[in-house]
Structure 1
Amino acid sequence: MTVPTAMAADYKQNPFTLVYDGAITTNEPGKVNIHPVKYKLNGLDIAANVYTPPNYDPARKYPAIVVAHPNGGVKEQVAGLFAQRLAEQGYITIAMDAAYQGASGGEPRNTDKPQFRTEDIHGAADFITRYPGVDAARLGLLGICGGGGYSLAAAKTDKRFKSVATLSMFNSGRVRRNGFADSALGTFQERLQQASAARAQEAAGGKILYVGGGAAATDAQIAAMPFEMYREGTVYYERTHGHPNSGAYPNSGGTYTVSSLMDLMRWDATDQIELIDQPLLMLAGSKADSLYMTEDAFAKATGTKDKELFKIEGATAIGTYWVPEHVDAEMGKLTPFFARTLVSDRS
């Protein structure tokens, strides 16, 4: 592959440190506005951005959507892109940094446990449903990549979400347990031993051990990665859409605590997925090597009859994050889906 070296979007050039194309640079009357907020969740400070629609009037009532970011991501990247695009359609949206990651609080940094990531989504619902102008009866959920798997988990039991959509859904438990494309089945017990030892070391006050991290990948290292999603993801997070809180940087992203594997490896996004009875839209690239995860979850989601799997023609997993024609195609499905499923029951 050709590895780009130039930044596509420099966070330093945006006052809100947003890195996606077309990002807000200033709040202007009559347009989508962005509002950085912080709120408490289980004693931790959660950092989030709320996007309000054009001509927002807090005295009115608007539907709202929670947007959950990918593993390795922060709110300023693809989650912010879709939060802004959905706000353009008349929704109040929120993109938040996961606890222990990004600009949110929590130690050890980069703890990545499914119960925390799922609780992040419940907490965002708590906050946004009390935001001025939000109609709590019209709340939707969009999860991207790893956030998609955790959105499925949240929607199983959180019926405040009237509908749920995923983009390039990544089943973190399955991949951490089995390897990408089920390529590491033979090392399951060995990796659990390592995770258990890492937790014991943490409990004794020793060094926190991490999977990944360190220096940014070289061109040769990226080219040698066996899966396209990881190659393109490394470029996205470290180069073209890099942010100081994500990727190879210290607060989030391409690294997580080894001890987190104790929780990740016993979890699966599809466990009890039949509890989802809300409308479900699952989007994934037709060329994505992670597509198998979306197809598996979709087949198992038997609790809802209102469901659709839509493939973005020609898109890879990471391409769904930022390639303009793919994003437009995704919005072309998300817009009517949320318009239909987040309807007011008021006369």
Structure 2
Amino acid sequence: MAVPDNYIFDLDENVTRTSVSYQNRFGITIAADLYRPKGFDESRGHPAIVIGAPYGGVKEQGPGIYAQNLALRGFVALTFDPSHNGYSGGEPRHLSSPELFVEDFSAAVDYLGTRPFVDRERIGGIGMCGSGGFLLSAAQVDRRLKAVATVVMYDISRAASKGWQDSLTDEARNGMLDAIAQQRYADFEGYAPALTPRGAPIGFDDTTDPIGREFGEFYSTPRGYHPNSITQFTMTSMMSFMNFPLLDHINTVSPRPILFVVGEHAHSRYFSEDAYELAAEPKEFHVVPNAGHVDLYDRTNLIPFDKLSEFFTKNLA
């Protein structure tokens, strides 16, 4: 059950959470939460990790769980709402953009790297689900990110342009683009952009598509519900993802290390497997036994916090 302030977890008594805000390079105000261990020593520089939300998620859900657990292990951790979503600024609401969502990671590094208690040479990142692709894309060009980890990564640009399991035909892709083009006219003449259907259905049952049900069991129930996390984006947003691949230069992240974390049974596993093959060394692939995709959003008994802590302790030394 979500707690009254809409965080889906209780704040640990040994962690301090502070609401902060800053602007990205587009002038959009980003709403974020800063997590630090209690008794934090602000007189010296610490390693820091920025944590991105699943595609359609917000900072009060899984990212906060990750940030809290990393703060308990001695890291400064920052979570944020993507531009145009959550409590962050940007109009129209619920817009999705590869460039904006990649920029949001660099803006988080801007913020962390200018805090007196953060060592700007020891900043890393975690991207959950769709933000895994955005983080890797940011790391391709933002060398301030010294180590990056993805958790059940989705490559939204690949999913948009090629379909699920690369099943989209050229004819179907052109049909989607034609529909989006017509929607642009409607949005231009209307009062508000049309939104996609919910990615996490409400009122699912045993006949619901298994992937949709998995998301519904999180976003559409008290387990993960948040009023800002509607799992919908403007319909015309997808055009940008179909035109701008996120991971074409993943090999250039090297020699900075990448850790890919997947659930053994995650439906998204193939995204990480393929990205791992394309990435240059150093790289690691970690499989969480008996875990699906959404399990690694909030199931603290399954999320490999010790592995993540070990990875960042070693590579942000």
Which sits farther off after the overlay, 115-124 or 316-325?
316-325
Q: Is residue 313 of structure 1 aligned with residue 312 of structure 2?
A: no
> Which residue is 1:299 aligned to?
277
- The equivalent position to 1:331 in structure 2, one of 291, 305, 316, is 305
- The equivalent position to 1:24 in structure 2, one of 8, 11, 14, is 11
Quote the RMSD (CA, aligned, Å). Answer: 1.8
The alpha carbon displacement at 1:33 in A equals 0.2
> Which residue is 1:282 aligned to?
260
AA matched with 1:189: N
AA matched with 1:44: I
- Could you report, residue by residue, the CA deviation over 1:66-104 in whole angstroms, capped at 9, with x for unpaired residues? 001111100000011101111111111100000000111
Give the unaligned 5+ runs of structure 2. Answer: none
Residue pair 1:201, 1:207 contacting (<8 A) in 2 also: no
AA matched with 1:307: K
From the superposition, tell whether residues 324 and 206 of structure 1 become closer, same or farther in structure 2 (CA, over 3 Å).
closer
Give the unaligned 5+ runs of structure 1. Answer: 1-8, 248-253
AA matched with 2:213: R
Distance in 1, matches of 2:104 and 2:211, equals 25
The alpha carbon displacement at 1:207 in A equals 4.2
Q: How many residues align?
A: 313
Residue pair 1:146, 1:171 contacting (<8 A) in 2 also: yes
Residue pair 2:204, 2:216 contacting (<8 A) in 1 also: no
> Which residue is 1:195 aligned to?
180
Distance in 2, matches of 1:169 and 1:274, equals 17
Alignment of 1:258-273 (within 5 A): 258-273=235-250
Alignment of 1:1-347 (within 5 A): 9-12=1-4, 15=5, 17-20=6-9, 23-24=10-11, 31-41=14-24, 42-185=26-169, 186-205=171-190, 207-213=192-198, 217-220=202-205, 223-226=206-209, 228-239=210-221, 240-247=223-230, 254-277=231-254, 278-302=256-280, 305-327=281-303, 330-343=304-317
Residue pair 2:92, 2:192 contacting (<8 A) in 1 also: no
From the superposition, tell whether residues 38 and 182 of structure 1 become closer, same or farther in structure 2 (CA, over 3 Å).
same
Distance in 2, matches of 1:143 and 1:299, equals 18
Distance in 2, matches of 1:273 and 1:53, equals 33
Distance in 1, matches of 2:200 and 2:149, equals 34
Which sits farther off after the overlay, 55-64 or 90-99?
55-64
Residue pair 1:287, 1:317 contacting (<8 A) in 2 also: yes
AA matched with 2:42: P
Residue pair 1:194, 1:258 contacting (<8 A) in 2 also: no
Residue pair 1:19, 1:241 contacting (<8 A) in 2 also: yes
From the superposition, tell whether residues 134 and 193 of structure 1 become closer, same or farther in structure 2 (CA, over 3 Å).
same
The alpha carbon displacement at 1:194 in A equals 1.5
- Could you report, residue by residue, the CA deviation over 1:13-61 in whole angstroms, capped at 9, with x for unpaired residues? xx4x3103xx317xx5xx2100011112222221100001231121121
Which sits farther off after the overlay, 48-57 or 147-156?
48-57
Distance in 1, matches of 2:87 and 2:265, equals 33
Distance in 1, matches of 2:211 and 2:245, equals 20
Distance in 2, matches of 1:206 and 1:300, equals 43
Distance in 2, matches of 1:205 and 1:132, equals 47
Distance in 1, matches of 2:275 and 2:200, equals 34
The alpha carbon displacement at 1:265 in A equals 1.2
- Could you report, residue by residue, the CA deviation over 1:295-334 in whole angstroms, capped at 9, with x for unpaired residues? 01110112xx21111111111000111223211xx11210
Identity between Structure 1 and Structure 2 (%)? 33
> Which residue is 1:4 aligned to?
none
Which sits farther off after the overlay, 305-314 or 260-269?
260-269
SS of corresponding position for 1:67:
strand
AA matched with 1:333: K
